[in-house]
A and B are shown apart, each in its own frame.
Chain A
């Protein structure tokens, strides 16, 4: 069985400071893990994905995430927040054996203060 928990429903940072959005997952098999971003009333856009290659994954817009199997975590980070990063972020887990079914976290709303 697969599950995902986003540990913070809201995160607020100042522009130019680091961003950390936390995600823990549970999976019986080697999972694929994704981070998506959603701006208001829009569809989701892929930020990055992990598929059992390098554990440190670099994505778009300066985001990266590290897959830590021992901690079952896949936290999303960015060194310096920009105003345009304000959005909702979703962590997603998919197992190969769970054909067609991804599990989405409840989302983290990121606010960036000027």
Chain B
């Protein structure tokens, strides 16, 4: 079964803690993306990676970090420097950067 998975589905964190969101794909896609979605807004790009061991900042990278050590994995760490981390986080992948993006089911992060 090909697809993109995110875990966990729901995540709760105390203020001041770092937390890592998982994103895995078995579609053999080169490009992967992390987006943040807030109520009533579109998706905003946090980080993207077009190839293994390379990634670029998106529009709202401050307070976040990523790694791309394997083609199929693109974890996102929300650090304590992110001032307002409560949001719905979506991971996506594509064969190329102008191609269709395939989205995971999302992780809802709540800071307590």
Contact = CB atoms under 8 A, between A and B. Distances in A.
Interface of A: 9, 32, 34, 36, 41-46, 49, 51, 90, 94-96, 99-102, 104-107
B31 to A, nearest CB: 7
Interface residues of B, number: 29
Contacts of A96: 97-98
B43 A94 contact: no
A84 to B, nearest CB: 18
A99 B42 contact: no
Given A99-B50, A99-B97, A100-B50, A105 B103 contact: no
Contacts of B90: 43-44
A45 B102 CA distance: 7
B20 to A, nearest CB: 19
Contacts of B101: 34, 44, 46, 102
Interface string B68-105: 00000000000000000000101010000111111111
Contacts of A107: 40-42
